[in-house]
Amino acid sequence: MSKKYHVAVVGASGVVGRKVIQVLEERQFPVSELSLFASSRSAGQKIPFNGEEITIQELTEDALTAPIQIAIFSAGGETSKHFAPIASSNGITVIDNSSAWRMDKHIPLVVPEVNAGVLSKDDKLIANPNCSTIQSVVPLKPLQENYGIKRVVYSTYQAVSGAGRKGIEDLEQGTTSTFPYEINKTVIPQIDVFLDNGNTKEEQKMIDETRKILGVENLPVSATAVRVPIKTSHGVSINIELEKEFDIKKIREEIGNIDGVILADNPGTLEYPLQSVAEDTDNVYVGRIRRDESVENGINLFVVADNLRKGAATNSVQIAESLIARGII
């Protein structure tokens, strides 16, 4: 009989937390027992899992102890900063969805298809990258390995669910509780707050996280992050300058062979990545693969994935699966 694990989900009542629970069930993760935690406001709610009703408990410092073995956090940065170290010091392997630990040089930032090899038995706290970064670095990995990457330029088309339940409400109700303008009437070239260098925090996340995941500290990366009026799944246009000459057919083949990638790239039949197709799947859809003839060794891609699944919940569960497969836990 295969080993099973006592898993906790912190932030279980939120949009991503609920998706984590759904993904654990769908992927038949080996759960012996599931504990759910959230704030006192959500304690007592029940969430279905594997035919049972699991009651959400209030998150306290005493809650995150053995026999819990794996804890997936989706409760925001402040909660993670306080509770993740407590859990990890108690021997629990923490996989954190917030931005709290991503750029800590001692904490691995992991997309399993790209850099699962950085995981080790010493890692009790692992960071899950930003949603747009996750889907973007998946097709970048073979390009980096086979041709070398000289520069990356991102332009994103990000769904409102990236801002949580209130973002969805703004789209559906025409309100501005989360966004500065009515998102159901426009696109907004701002995600998160502006920094001193003119980038938004979201743009800077993509820049910094891409460098860390690909292991190239000074890689030239630029990003423009835009919120668009759709509920789920992010699109990212990626322009890449490669170090070496390439054959476009070979690149298409290499990207199509990545585990978890669906190649949607046939202009003749109007086949390209669509956010409506990616919704509620774990795949990364890649298409519009073509040369950028304005620069030497340039290439363009369009990448789409469900931001709540591959961009958050599924990637977290896949990290846990990688830890098990590698004999780390």
Does the annotation place 42 within a ligand binding site? yes
309 is in an annotated binding site: no
Say whether 131 is catalytic.
yes
Q: Is 158 annotated to bind ligand?
A: yes
Query: Is 91 annotated as contributing to ligand binding?
Result: no
Angle (nearest 5°) at CA 97 between 272 and 283: 25
Q: How far is CA 264 from CA 139, 267, 287, 289, 315, in A?
A: 13, 9, 5, 9, 21
For residue 1, what is the DSSP state?
A: -
Does residue 88 contact residue 30 with C-beta atoms inside 8 Å?
Answer: no
6, 82, 106, 131: which one is catalytic? 131
Q: How far apart are CA 267 and CA 286, in angstroms?
A: 13
Q: Is 307 annotated as a binding residue?
A: yes
The DSSP call for residue 187 is -
The answer to whether 162 is annotated as binding is yes
Intra-chain end-to-end CA distance of the chain, in Å: 16
Annotated binding-site residue? 227:
yes
234 classed as catalytic? yes
Contact predicate 132/305, CB 8 Å: no
Interatomic CA distance for residues 63 and 49, integer angstroms: 20
Element (H, E) at 301: strand 298-305
275 is in an annotated binding site: no
Place of tokens 């009515």: 182
Q: How far apart are CA 289 and CA 192, in angstroms?
A: 29
The answer on whether 14 is annotated among ligand-binding residues is yes
- Contacts of residue 82, defined as CB under 8 A and 6 or more positions apart, other chains included, come to none
User: Hey, what are 318's tokens?
Assistant: 């896949």
Helical spans, DSSP H, in 148-215: 165-173, 201-214
Could you tell me which residues are annotated as the binding site for NADP(+)?
A: 13-16, 41-42, 161-162, 307
Active site residues per annotation: 131, 234
Could you tell me which residues are annotated as the binding site?
A: 13-16, 41-42, 102, 158, 161-162, 227, 307
Could you tell me which residues are annotated as the binding site for phosphate?
A: 102
Could you tell me which residues are annotated as the binding site for substrate?
A: 158, 227
